[in-house]
Structure 1
Amino acid sequence: MKILAVDDDRVFLEILDHALRTSGYGDNELLSSPLPALLMLESSYAHFDCILLDIEMPGMTGIELCARIRALQAYQNTPIIMLTTLSDRTNIYQAFDAGASDYITKPINALELQARLGTVRRLVDEQKRIKQLEYQVKVRSGSTYLDYTFDTPIMIPDFDRGIEFHALQNYLLTLGVKGLFSVSAFAINIENATTIYRMVDNIAFRSMLADVASVLGECIKTEKVLISYAGNGAFVGVITGRTEWQNHALEMEMNDKMEDFRAIYTSDRLPLPRIRVSPMVSNSLFSPKRPSLILDRAIAAAGAKNAIPRIAVA
C-alpha cells in the first residue's frame, strides 16, 4: 500500500515514517508542505492508496488540502486520515465534511496506527476489487455484474454531499459522550428498494441510488450535514446543532422531484423509487454506549425493515 504523508513538522514525519515501516508499510512519500503534495497528486504520475494529512499547516490547512484532493477524480474515494493534536479536535467536523475518512491523534500510538491502517488496507483492497469488476463490465460485452449485496454501504457515484459510511461512523466516535448530545440524525429510506434490487443487476441498482442521491442533494438545504448511504436502501445523515426539520415536507419534495425520472423507470419497466424521510432523532442516555446507535434509530424511524450492517471501526 503506497502512502503519502503531509506534515510541516519534519521531525514528526521521521517518527511517522518509522512507525509506518514498523507496522509493515514501507512504500511512503513524506512531504512537509501542502502545495507540493497537491501538485504531485494532480500530476498523476504516482498514485497513492492512502493519504495522511496534518490539520494545522501554514499556507494551506490540511482540511483545505483534503477538500482539494477530493476534487481530483483519481482520489474521490481514496482513504484520507487526518493527523490531529487534542487542540485540533474542534476541526474534526470540518475535516470529515471535506472528505476525511478517519483521524489519528498525535503523538502517534503504534497500535492505533496499525489498527487504523489495517482498516484502510481492507477498504483499499475492496475498492480495487470493485474497480476491477467495473473494468470487466466495460470490456466484456454483455457483462453487467458488480459484486455487492443489498446491505453493503457502497459509495454513490457523483454524490458530492456524500461521505463513506465508515467515515460517518468514525465521526460519531470522535465526538465523545458530551459531543454526542450536540448532534441529531435522520434517514432517507427507499421503501421499494428491495423490490428494485431483485429486478435489476447491481450496476442498475447503484444507478437508482445515484438518482435518489441527486434528488437528496438538491433538497437538503442545511450545510451542517454529513450524509452516507448505509446499505439496505437507506441514506443516513448527521446534523450538528439545532436546525429546523420538516420531514414530511422534505419527503413530499423528494418524491415530487423523483417524478422527473418516471419516464426512464417506466421505459425500463421498473417502479419509481418511493422515498420516506424520518423525523430527526436525537441521542438518548443510552446512546454513548454505542455512538452509531443513533443511526439505527433514524433508520427505524424511516420505516426500514433492516438495521444498518455492523462495520468494525478501529
Structure 2
Amino acid sequence: MKIFAVDDDDVFSEILRQKLRLIGYGDVTCLQDPLAAQQVLAEAAEAFDCILLDIEMPGLNGVELCGRIRALPAYRHTPIIMITSLAGRQSIDMAFQNGATDYITKPIDTLELKARLHGVERLLDERKRLQMLEYQISLQTDVVPLDFAFDQPILVPEFDRGIEFHALQNYLLTLGLKGLYSVSAVAICIENAVLTYRIASRVAFRNMLADVGSVIEDCLKTESLLIAYAGSGNFVGIVTGTADWVPADLEFEMNAKMEEFSPIYVSERLPLPRIRVGPMVSNSLLSLARPSQVLDRAIVAAGSRSGLPRMGIA
C-alpha cells in the first residue's frame, strides 16, 4: 500500500515513517509543505492508496488540504486519515465534512495505527474488486457480473453529498463520550429496495441508489449533516443539534421528486423507489457502548421494511 503523509514537523514525520515501517508499511512518501503536497498528488503518475494529514500547518491547514484533495478525480474516494493533536469537536466536524475517512489524535499509538491501516486495506481490497468487475463489464467481456450483498454499504455513484459508511462510523467513534450526546441520527429508507435487489442487476440496483441519492441531495442541500449509505436500502445521517425539517413533509417532498424518475423505471420494468424518512434518534446509554448503534436505532425508528444493515437476505 502506497502511503502519502503530510506534516510540517520534521521530527514527527520521521517518527511516523518509523512506526509505519515497523508495522509493515515501507512505501511511504512524507512532505512538510501542504501546498507542495497538493501539487505532488495532482501530478503523480500513479495515485497513492492512502493519505495521512496533519491539521495545523502553515499556509494551508490539513482540513483545507483534505477538501482540495477530494476535488482531484483520482482521490475522490481515497482513504484520508487525519493525524493531529487537535481533539476538539469543531476540528473533528470540519475534517469529516471536508472528506476525512478517519481521525487519529497524537501521540500515535502504534497498535491503533496498525488497526486503522488494516481497516483501510480491507476497504481498498473490496473497492478494487468492484472497480475491476465494473471495468470488465464496460468492456462487455465474459466475466462474473458485478455482485455485492444486499446489506453491503457500497459506494453510491455520483452521490457527492454522501460519505462512506466506514467514515461515518469512524466519525462517531472519534467524537468521544461527550460529543455523542450532542448528535442525533436519522434514517432515509427505500421501502422496496429488497424487491429491486431481487429482480434487477446489481448495476441497476446501484443506479437506483444513485437516483435516490440525487433526491436526498436536492432536498437536503441546505442542511448540515453527514450522510452515508449503510446497506439494505438505508441511508443514515448524523445531525448536530436539531434539524430544520419535519420527517413527514420531507418524505412527501422526496417521493414527489422521485416521481420525476418514473418514466425510466417504467421503461426498465422496475419498481419506483418508495422513500421513508424516520424521526431523529438521540444517543442513549446503550449506544454509548457502541457509538454506531445509534445508526441502527435510527433505521428501526424509521420503520424500514427493507431490512437492517449487516443482516443480509437469502
Task: Tell me the SS of whatever aligns to 2:257.
Answer: helix
CA contact under 8 A between 1:54 and 1:84: conserved in structure 2? Answer: yes
| Shift of residue 87, structure 1, vs aligned partner | 4.4
Give the aligned residue type for 2:309: I
Amino acid at match of 2:20: L
Q: Report the Cα offset of residue 246 of structure 1.
A: 0.5
Instruction: Indicate the residue corresponding to 1:249 in structure 2.
Output: 249
Separation in 1 of the partners of 2:244 and 2:138? 44
1:137-156, aligned counterparts within 5 Å?
Answer: 137-141=137-141, 145-156=145-156
1:84 Cα offset (Å) = 1.5
Q: How big is the shift at 1:44?
A: 3.6
| Shift in Å, 1:205 | 0.3
TM-score of the superposed pair, with normalisation by structure 1: 0.95
Paired with 2:142 and 2:193, the residues of 1 have a C-alpha distance of 24
Quick check: 1:302 aligned with 2:293?
no
Take 2:78 and 2:68, find their aligned partners in 1: how far apart are those partners?
A: 13
Q: Does 1:286 align with 2:286?
A: yes
Report the counterpart of residue 174 of structure 1 in structure 2: 174
- Pairwise CA distance, 1:144: 8.0
Cα deviations by residue, 1:189-215 (Å, 9 ceiling, x for unpaired): 000000111111111100000000000
Q: 1:63-78 to 2 correspondence within 5 Å?
A: 63-78=63-78
- Looking at structure 2, the residues matched to 296 and 222 of structure 1 have their Cα atoms a distance apart, in angstroms, of 25
Do the aligned partners of 1:245 and 1:280 also contact (CA within 8 Å) in 2?
A: no
CA distance in 1, matches of 2:32, 2:265: 51
Pair 129,153 (structure 1): closer, same or farther in 2 beyond 3 Å = same
Q: What is the deviation of 1:97?
A: 0.8
Q: Distance in 1 between matches of 2:285 and 2:252?
A: 32
SS at match of 2:129: helix
RMSD: 1.5
| Native 8 Å contact 2:89 2:179 kept in 1 | no
Asked whether the equivalents of residues 99 and 163 of structure 1 are also in contact (C-alpha less than 8 Å), the reply is: yes
Partners of 1:40 and 1:46 within 8 A in 2: no
- Which residue in the other structure is 1:30 paired with? 30
* Alignment-derived partner of residue 99 in structure 1: 99
For residues 120-143 of structure 1, what are the alpha-carbon distances to aligned partners after superposition, in whole Å with 9 as ceiling and x for unaligned? Answer: 111111111111111111112576
Q: Which residue of 1 aligns with 2:124?
A: 124
Q: 1:219 corresponds to which letter in structure 2?
A: C
**Paired residues of 1:185 and 1:238 also in contact (CA < 8 A):** yes
Displacement of 1:283 in angstroms is 1.3
CA contact (8 A) 2:223 2:243 kept: no
**Unaligned runs of at least 5 residues, structure 1:** none
* Deviation for aligned residue 1:267: 0.5
Partner residue of 1:115? Answer: 115
User: Deviation per CA, 1:209-244, whole angstroms, max 9, x where unpaired?
Assistant: 000000000001444200000000010000012232
TM-score when normalising by structure 2: 0.95
Q: How does 1:5-24 map to 2 (within 5 A)?
A: 5-24=5-24
**Secondary structure, aligned partner of 1:236:** strand
Distance 1:135 1:225, change over 3 A: same
Cα distance in 1 between the residues matched to 2:38 and 2:46: 12
**Comparing 295-304 with 162-171, which one deviates more in the overlay?**
295-304
1:234 equivalenced with 2:219 (yes/no): no
CA-to-partner distance for each residue in 1:68-124, whole Å, 9 max, x for gaps? 111111111110000111445530111111111101111111111111111111111
Secondary structure, in 3 states, of the residue corresponding to 2:198? Answer: helix
Amino acid at match of 2:71: A
**Structure 2 residue ranges without an equivalent (≥5):** none
What letter is aligned with 1:272? L
Deviation at 1:281, TM superposition (A): 0.9
CA distance in structure 1 between the aligned counterparts of 2:8 and 2:188, rounded to whole angstroms: 41
The 1:144–1:204 alpha-carbon spacing in structure 2 relative to 1, beyond 3 Å, is farther
Structure 1 residues 144 and 270 mapped into 2: Cα distance closer, same or farther (>3 Å)? farther
Contact 1:101–1:166, Cα closer than 8 Å, also in 2: yes
The whole-number CA distance in structure 2 between the counterparts of 1:89 and 1:263 is 45
Does structure 1 retain, via aligned residues, the 8 Å contact 2:69–2:75? yes
Residues 144 and 203 in structure 1, CA contact (< 8 A), matched pair in contact too? no
Of the structure 1 ranges 31-40 and 282-291, higher mean CA displacement relative to structure 2 is found in 282-291
Offset of residue 297 of structure 1: 1.0
Contact 2:87-2:105 at 8 Å conserved across structures: no
The question of whether the paired residues in 2 share the 8 Å contact of 1:55 and 1:88 is answered with: no
Q: 1:307, CA displacement in angstroms?
A: 2.1
Match of 1:81 in 2: 81
Q: Secondary structure at the match of 2:103?
A: strand
